[in-house]
Amino acid sequence: MGKGKQSFPGERGLVAGLAVDALGNGMYVPFSLVFFRHVTGLPLPVIGLVLTVTGLVAMACLPLIGTAVDRFGARRMQLLLYTVRGAAFAVYPLAGSLPAFAAVALVTAIATSGHPAVQQARIGELVRGADLVRMQALMRSLANAGLGAGSLAAALLVAWAGDGGYSVAAWLNAVSFLVAALLARRVPAGVPAAAGPAAARAGYRAVFADRPFLGLTAANFLIALGYASLAILLPVFVTGVLHASASVTGVAFAVNTVLCAALGVPAGRLVNRFTARHRAAVAGAVLFAAAFLAQALLVPGAGAWTTGALLTAVVVATLGEVLHNPAASTLVAEAAPAALRGRYMAAYQLSWSLSSALAPSLFTGLSALDGRLPWLVLAGAVLAGAALLTRAARALKPTAPTTAPTATTTAPATGSAAPAPVRVPVAPAAR
């Protein structure tokens, strides 16, 4: 955000809301199972089962949220999900019985799972071009900064208040969502999409008929597996294969978090220097693959050399992350027709959800065969994703990497010129 200059009315309020949201998330995400154990008093296996089931149900509800965005608007859905999440975390400490916890967890999971798609749709209707890349990078940076600051705040709370600190963290998280909603409410709605009868009837048939978009989504599924490796695969690899201290994983996580927070915005500027955005996304995927191959080649027993090489690989993977994420997210946001943006973002979000669901069993299964095999499979997956992304992006209509005018103020007055027609892929006739 330039000095004294906003890309759209209310940008500062939206960014402040994102920062508050990220801080609240950081207070429970790194400690989620322990967090829920202390605020509900239920056994960990029961909590884990409830969170798995509610997560799967929430994933199944994503298409419904995408439809709601297209029908009611991204702004309304954003405010609704913020409010629902705030209310849910406010009552978590009171949900001591299994039915109460399951009910609150289900509502929270649906709202949390749908939030990224709604947020992407909201950003997509406010900005375009280089400003969209910048906002994507800023969102990623704020998420990581909030994760670090929030987890530190939660740790201090628990150290100060004991187990009661977890309840306080839940209530503070609830407040953060409600404050984020108040800030987001100050951002005006964008110009409404011209959703004609054809767009309304097409629905998800149009999404599934859009082969370039499906290519981007499939590519993201493959590359997203790399994002999950730091939290799921690396701890097992460090202790089980390299026979290093578990503290190395903590250092690697800290390095990744700090670099993502610090380099997110500069990386967004770098993405805008590429002649085509898909090339920036592919460059990020290639960096991912290089880092994974390097980790597969690490040898145990080399002490500081092994640790140094591992952390170097983490740095390379982090550079790939900050380069790939804003470029790929912008490609998808610009590929979505305005009238179906919610459905498109929900379908794309499914690629993240499916990769997160598959990663634990995939990584542990491959590790049982050989400790280095997961890294080799990951390298192949992200390179295949990069190739698929390149092919899909070339089939998209070209978009200029420069800043496009943003339609972000108020709806056109009665009698003004009609908005431009919306691109809606034509679905094939039912057989």
Task: Look up the domain containing 102 and give its range.
Answer: 9-190
Which of these three, 145, 166, 190, is where a domain ends? 190
Between 220 and 45, name the one with better pLDDT: 220
Q: How far is CA 8 from CA 159, 188, 404, 428, in A?
A: 42, 9, 12, 38
- 408 occurs within a structural domain: no
- 261 occurs within a structural domain: yes
Residues 155 and 26 in one domain: yes
249-283 pLDDT, tens digit per residue, is 888 888 998 999 899 889 888 988 887 889 999 99
Residues 58 and 83 in one domain: yes
Residues 288 and 336 in one domain: yes
Residues 365 and 316 in one domain: yes
Q: Given a cut of 90, is residue 14 above it in pLDDT?
A: no
Helix intervals (H) in 210-303: 211-240, 247-271, 277-296
318-367 pLDDT, tens digit per residue, is 999 999 999 999 889 888 888 899 999 999 999 999 998 888 889 989 99
Residues 176 and 261 in one domain: no
Residues 186 and 209 in one domain: no
Q: What is the pTM of this model?
A: 0.81
Residues 159 and 245 in one domain: no
Residues 270 and 338 in one domain: yes
What mean pLDDT comes out for the span 171-193? Answer: 83
Residues 209 and 177 in one domain: no
- 73 φ/ψ sector (left φ>0, alpha ψ -120 to 50, else beta): left
Q: How far is CA 52 from CA 159, 248, 349, 393, 411, in A?
A: 29, 28, 18, 34, 42
Residues 311 and 262 in one domain: yes
Q: Given a cut of 70, is residue 411 above it in pLDDT?
A: no
pLDDT for the residue 430 = 35
Q: Given a cut of 50, is residue 33 above it in pLDDT?
A: yes
pLDDT tier, 162 (very low <50, low <70, confident <90, very high otherwise): confident
Residues 151 and 224 in one domain: no
88-105 pLDDT, tens digit per residue, is 988 888 887 888 889 988
pLDDT for the residue 153 = 80
pLDDT for the residue 170 = 82
